[in-house]
């Protein structure tokens, strides 16, 4: 193209009338972008990205499973472990107590349910992000923070919608400390059979109705969706933004993964990062997204275990938030955040790293 050939030398003649305006992508770039988008929307790409995402989610959750269980016990104010919350010494003490009572497998209680849930959850999240991104970001000039944020938020909501019941079962498995009453089947039966009373006030009247059955598996669903919007959106946005920074020419020689037969640089797609750079971008994404969404996560945990503690009264989001504030004040919304940082940073880092490498291994 004339515009490209004139770079670095003086102009002696006017540019031809057919030259592509500098503010618009060239026809070659447009054609390449369209081809990449069509490839991304193919069935072959969809199932491969889903498998890569599922494997990434399982790898990430396995790395942090012990911390995840302790964090749930702290967030839900389990009577046996609430006194240990608030410090790293308490985390270590809680882990030792779990190990003494139940052995090493006690630290992974509920992990089987986690893996059953996380594979479809992560698979749907990553493939949904790729698909929504290909629709919202059709050309290079569409690569904006708002579109990235919207793509990530839509992906997170899609994954939660299909996998939430397994999340409730996982949390209850991790929360239970009674021996002989916490198998996967027993927890499912218990959740299904719990009968609660939901109340809603209008002016001076109170209407009560019994709830139970399948609806029990969707406790805390509303705050989960509200929390997922910023969490997933900011996570993908931060990861992609940090990745762009690390791919800048002045850093590329240290951050870009050299091209080999097993790690080819595919036209129209971002060049793969070295391992440390990919882990760094994922870790930063985890820290930022966790900070923004943590209060809603605490509310969600308390709602999910509502049938295991108290009188079984079904609390709404505002009521749960009020209860947490009365118990511990503003700091109550950030109980276990230090564990959250220690858990989410490596988890998101491993997740993005495994996903990006998985795409290379699967040839997409």
- Coil, strand, or helix at residue 270? coil
pLDDT value of position 20: 43
Distance (Å) of CA 178 to CA 91, 101, 174, 264, 306: 20, 11, 11, 52, 17
pLDDT at site 151: 95
Q: What is the pLDDT along the chain (364 residues), one digit of tens a residue?
A: 444 444 444 444 444 444 444 445 455 445 555 555 658 888 999 999 999 999 999 999 998 888 878 877 776 667 677 667 766 677 888 888 888 888 888 888 878 877 888 999 999 999 999 999 999 988 888 889 999 999 999 999 999 888 888 888 877 877 765 555 567 788 888 888 876 555 444 443 334 444 567 788 888 787 778 878 889 999 999 999 999 999 999 999 999 998 877 777 777 778 999 999 999 999 999 999 998 888 888 887 787 676 544 555 566 788 888 888 888 888 888 887 877 788 889 999 999 999 999 998 998 8
pLDDT, residue 221, reads: 82
Question: What was the pLDDT predicted at 114?
Answer: 79
352 near 282, Cβ under 8 Å? Answer: yes
* Residue 359 confidence (pLDDT): 92
Query: What pLDDT score does 16 carry?
Result: 47
Give me the domains of the chain, ranges plus CATH numbers. 34-257+270-361 (1.50.40.10)
3-state secondary structure of 22: coil
Cβ within 8 Å of residue 23, ≥6 positions away: none
């Amino acid at each position: 193209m004339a515009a490209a050939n004139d770079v670095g030398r003086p102009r002696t003649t006017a540019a031809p009338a057919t030259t592509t305006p500098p503010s618009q992508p060239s026809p070659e770039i447009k054609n390449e972008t369209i081809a990449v988008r069509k490839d991304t929307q193919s069935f072959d790409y969809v199932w491969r990205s889903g498998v890569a995402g599922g494997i990434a989610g399982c790898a990430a959750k396995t790395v942090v499973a012990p911390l995840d269980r302790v964090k749930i016990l702290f967030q839900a104010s389990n009577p046996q472990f609430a006194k240990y919350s608030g410090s790293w010494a308490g985390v270590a003490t809680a882990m030792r107590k779990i190990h003494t009572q139940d052995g090493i497998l006690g630290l992974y209680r509920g992990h089987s349910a986690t893996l059953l849930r996380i594979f479809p959850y992560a698979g749907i999240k990553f493939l949904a992000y790729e698909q929504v991104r290909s629709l919202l970001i059709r050309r290079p000039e569409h690569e904006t923070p708002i579109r990235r944020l919207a793509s990530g938020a839509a992906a997170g909501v899609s994954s939660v919608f299909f996998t939430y019941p397994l999340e409730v079962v996982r949390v209850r498995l991790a929360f239970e400390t009674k021996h002989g009453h916490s198998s996967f089947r027993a927890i499912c039966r218990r959740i299904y059979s719990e009968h609660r009373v939901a109340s809603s006030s209008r002016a001076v009247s109170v209407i009560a109705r019994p709830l139970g059955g399948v609806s029990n598996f969707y406790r805390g669903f509303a705050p989960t969706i509200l929390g997922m919007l910023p969490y997933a959106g900011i996570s993908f946005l931060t990861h992609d933004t940090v990745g762009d920074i690390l791919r800048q020419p002045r850093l590329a020689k240290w951050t870009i993964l050299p091209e080999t037969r097993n790690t080819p640089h595919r036209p129209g797609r971002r060049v793969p990062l070295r391992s440390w750079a990919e882990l760094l971008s994922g870790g930063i994404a985890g820290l930022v997204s966790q900070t923004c969404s943590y209060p809603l996560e605490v509310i969600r945990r308390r709602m999910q275990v509502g049938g295991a503690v108290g009188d079984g009264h079904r609390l709404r989001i505002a009521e749960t938030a009020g209860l947490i504030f009365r118990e511990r004040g503003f700091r109550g919304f950030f109980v276990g955040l230090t564990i959250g940082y220690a858990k989410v940073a490596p988890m998101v880092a491993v997740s993005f790293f495994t996903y990006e490498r998985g795409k290379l291994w699967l040839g997409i």
